[in-house]
Amino acid sequence: MEYHEYMSKKVKNVAKKQIAKEIIKYVAMTGGVALCFTAPTAIPFLGIFLCRNTDERNRYMRSLLMLNRRGMLKIIRDVERGNSLQLTRRGNREARRVSFLDMHIDRPKKWDGIWRMVMFDIPQKRRGARAVFRKKLRDLGFLPYQKSVFVFPFPCEREVRFAAEYLSMQPYVQYIEVCKLDKESRVRKEFNLLKQQ
């Protein structure tokens, strides 16, 4: 197989995964999407199918059927109320995994002057999960303050609690909000907050 054929296949696989991810996220967000014009929640999802060319619409339909075959999505056929999609238990697990991987923290324009600290003391037997948690905090923009203490200037409690819960580490993770830090100017500099407050 030539390089350009290999890359073409790779791009198609990435596109398939992205479409499947989009469908799972949308169904999880709406809690079940009716695929008919009678349901108000159907309109945005139908846009996926109606506002694109035939090739793209076919790709979405193939992804829907693939998710159904893999046991992640149930297609419920109902003549009266219209067909709908529902995540299975496996699909819900995948939706949570996707949410964890895609998680980000919105940064307001103005800082409120409160530092968010995440402290954890995770047992050695959970070191794999600890490494994933630490990497996620870094990916979200947290700054290591000490070995198992990370700091962030913007609201993030929901995201921290979700990450801890997703990795089954709630008992080992503490979330704290503080007004002042030792060596605060160094931390402010890292977050470009020297001019604020």
Per-residue pLDDT for 144 more than 60? yes
Q: Residue 97 corresponds to which tokens in the numbers above?
A: 């995994």
Cα dihedral 143/145/150/151 (nearest 10): -70
Domains and CATH numbers, the chain: 3-101 (1.10.10.10), 105-190 (3.30.70.240)
Query: Running DSSP on this structure, what letter comes out for residue 126?
Result: G
Per-residue pLDDT for 44 more than 60? no
CA nearest to 84, candidates 73, 94, 93:
73
Q: What is the pLDDT of residue 53?
A: 67
Q: Could you count the other beta carbons within 10 Å of the beta carbon of residue 51? A: 9
The backbone torsions φ and ψ at residue 152, rounded to the nearest 5 degrees and listed phi first, read -150, 145
Q: Give 95-119 pLDDT, tens digit per residue.
A: 899 889 999 999 998 999 999 999 9
| Residue partners of 153: CB distance under 8 A and separation at least 6 | 111, 114, 115, 116, 191, 193
Q: Residue 180 corresponds to which tokens in the numbers above?
A: 């002042």
Q: Residue 133 corresponds to which tokens in the numbers above?
A: 């948690």
Q: What is the pLDDT of residue 180?
A: 92
The mean pLDDT of the chain is 81
The backbone torsions φ and ψ at residue 83, rounded to the nearest 5 degrees and listed phi first, read -70, 150
Q: Residue 135 corresponds to which tokens in the numbers above?
A: 């990497």
Q: Give 14-42 pLDDT, tens digit per residue.
A: 566 788 888 888 787 777 564 543 444 44
Report how far residue 83's alpha carbon sits from residue 89's, in angstroms, rounded to the nearest whole number: 19
Q: What is the pLDDT of residue 29?
A: 77
Report how far residue 176's alpha carbon sits from residue 160's, in angstroms, rounded to the nearest whole number: 11
Q: What is the pLDDT of residue 3?
A: 44
Per-residue confidence at 196, pLDDT binned at 50, 70, 90? low
